[in-house]
Amino acid sequence: MFLFGYLFAFGIPFGYSYFGKPPSLEKVLESEGVAHFQYRMKQGYMLLINGDDYTCGGLYLNADSSCFHLAEGVERREFLEGKIVTVLWFQQPAHLFDSVRRVVDIRYEGASQLPAGYLEKRLQSERENAKNDALFASVLMLLGLLFCEWVDRVRRRNGSRPD
């Protein structure tokens, strides 16, 4: 049960992050609409266009979905808010039956708003971190499982004593 829970909750997203690569040109889709940025608790600013959300972040553990660095983020978001932008994106698998709209580029009046090679650098960073994050998550889940087992044993031991 522990292994199944770990694989479903963490292993699959870590695997998708580890094996993630930039999409081929045929898989890149394009959407156009008015840009809005919605703050999502612990996840940064999600780009919304025509009611659909787009992320620049990874797949797991409160990944920051913001597309702009902290220093320039406020200025960039305010500049693009309410303007018609074109988003190049692809479907990135997140879980067995789920995927996210992952941003390749954001364009306003034909000019790219993201640095060159942004997606490649972000995917490389996620690939490098996936192993350590998977190890950390498995150790944390194992410690949680051991704690639950310990609590259950203490409860049984105390419940079987005559008072």
145 is a domain residue: yes
133 is a domain residue: yes
99 is a domain residue: yes
67 is a domain residue: yes
Tell me: the pLDDT tens digits for 58-101? 666 545 667 776 667 778 888 888 999 999 999 887 777 777 88
161 is a domain residue: no
Write phi, then psi, for 10 (nearest 5 degrees): -125, -45
Per-residue pLDDT of the chain (163 residues; tens, 9 = 90+): 666 766 666 666 666 666 777 788 899 999 999 999 888 776 677 888 998 988 887 666 545 667 776 667 778 888 888 999 999 999 887 777 777 888 888 999 988 888 888 888 888 887 787 777 777 877 888 888 889 889 999 999 887 665 5
118 is a domain residue: yes
Cβ-in-10-Å burial (0-12, 13-18, 19+) of 2 comes to: exposed
pTM metric for this prediction: 0.70
| Domain with 131 in it | 2-156
Cβ-proximal residues to 137 (8 Å cutoff; 6+ apart), any chain = 6, 10, 14, 61
- Our count of domains for the chain comes to 1
61 is a domain residue: yes
81 is a domain residue: yes
